[in-house]
């Protein structure tokens, strides 16, 4: 498959981009098609190990990827490599010294596909909490994933961003704070924040956002081409939208800023995977704990809850833990309805719930 001349060219090419152009690393596109002789075509990967080891694996291609990662890490230890692999090949994101593929991260490509599928095909009352949690947590232990709520395809011509799928044409008419908050805009803004936070907190060991998606940029990105008569009209992001205090885009931008600042403070992306204590189908509630924080999401389309009990992970019968609200998607500064009192303190109790000895009433 690879002659040594081709191999040397490809490896030197990687080195050139880092040394001459100061690249920080690489995202290897379409890795699945390289790893297997069948190129992943017509193959559904279930996770069975027979699917990843055998004569159908392209050993030359796998060897090149291992060499590429080894060389990059040896010469430039700070660089990052990312695999776009939908097959889930084991150890692809473990060091070459362990017999792995050497990548730092794998893109969690199922997550943005899942959100689009849910929004396109299901009514709010039909959302499946267990299916959402499974998609966000379906990764091998100690192999790092990059979670993202929407893909680059949704930011470019050919698809719609999450914000546009949720709010569609009303983004052009009802995003002003001077106009009434319509049910479509209200639902869209609240779900946009919740989808991003649960993806960020549960879906991986790093988080990816495409420029403008964090504040719900209403239009796609389209570069000049023959199909649009070489127009520059959509070859931009309207960052002024977030700076206009009469527009609701600023709420989404403020939430995204504070979400990322909170992660930087507590480091949940670098923490072990979350402990999911609840995925309640009728209540539409998902609760989990990660990095010492308790995350509670109510996806019910119309039901709010008072005195809702959730599990806390610790088993100490002596220490009482005190919790406070750190991030609330319902807060006024994020375009919410201010239904929670942020001065309230919540205390752990020796009260069994969901098969754990301690819980918390919120």
Helix (H) or strand (E) holding 66: helix 59-75
CB of 153 within 8 A of CB of 107?
A: no
Closest CA to 218 of 256, 275, 165: 165
Active-site positions read 29, 84
Closest CA to 277 of 149, 148, 137: 137
How far is 351 from 357, CA to CA, in rounded Å?
Answer: 6
Closest CA to 136 of 59, 202, 61: 202
Q: Report residue 102 as tokens.
A: 């050497």
Q: Report residue 69 as tokens.
A: 């990662």
User: 277 by DSSP, 3-state: which?
Assistant: strand
Residue listed under structure tokens 């403070």: 265
How far is 27 from 112, CA to CA, in rounded Å?
Answer: 17
Closest CA to 183 of 195, 165, 170: 170
């Amino acid at each position: 498959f690879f002659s040594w001349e081709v191999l040397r060219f490809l490896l030197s090419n990687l080195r050139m981009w880092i040394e001459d152009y100061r690249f920080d690393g690489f995202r290897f596109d379409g890795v699945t098609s390289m790893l297997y002789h069948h190129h992943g075509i017509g193959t559904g990967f279930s996770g069975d190990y027979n699917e990843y080891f055998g004569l159908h694996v392209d050993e030359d291609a796998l060897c090149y990827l291992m060499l590429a990662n080894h060389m990059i890490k040896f010469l430039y230890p700070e660089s990052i490599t990312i695999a776009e692999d939908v097959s889930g090949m084991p150890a692809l994101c473990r060091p070459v010294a362990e017999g792995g593929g050497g990548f730092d991260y794998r893109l969690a490509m199922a997550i943005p596909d899942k959100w689009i599928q849910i929004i396109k095909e299901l009514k709010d009352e039909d959302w499946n909490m267990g299916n959402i949690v499974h998609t966000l947590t379906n990764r091998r232990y100690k192999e790092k994933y990059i979670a993202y709520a929407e893909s680059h395809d949704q930011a470019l011509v050919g698809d719609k961003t999450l914000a546009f799928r949720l709010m569609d044409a009303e983004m052009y008419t009802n995003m002003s704070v001077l106009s009434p908050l319509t049910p479509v805009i209200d639902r869209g803004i609240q779900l946009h924040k919740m989808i991003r936070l649960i993806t960020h907190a549960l879906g991986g060991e790093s988080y990816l956002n495409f420029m403008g998606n964090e504040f719900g940029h209403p239009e796609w990105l389209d570069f000049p081409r023959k199909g649009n008569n070489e127009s520059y009209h959509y070859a931009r992001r309207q960052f002024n939208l977030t700076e206009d205090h009469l527009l609701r885009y600023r709420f989404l931008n403020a939430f995204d800023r504070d979400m990322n600042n909170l992660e930087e403070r507590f480091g949940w992306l670098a923490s072990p995977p979350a402990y999911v204590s609840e995925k309640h189908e009728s209540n539409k509630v998902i609760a989990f704990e990660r990095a010492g924080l308790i995350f509670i999401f109510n996806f019910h389309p119309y039901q709010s809850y008072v005195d809702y009990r959730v599990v806390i992970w610790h088993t100490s019968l002596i220490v009482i833990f005190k919790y406070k609200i750190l991030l609330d998607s319902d807060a006024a500064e994020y375009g919410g309805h201010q239904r929670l009192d942020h001065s309230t303190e919540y205390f752990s109790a020796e009260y069994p719930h969901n098969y754990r000895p301690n819980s918390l009433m919120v």
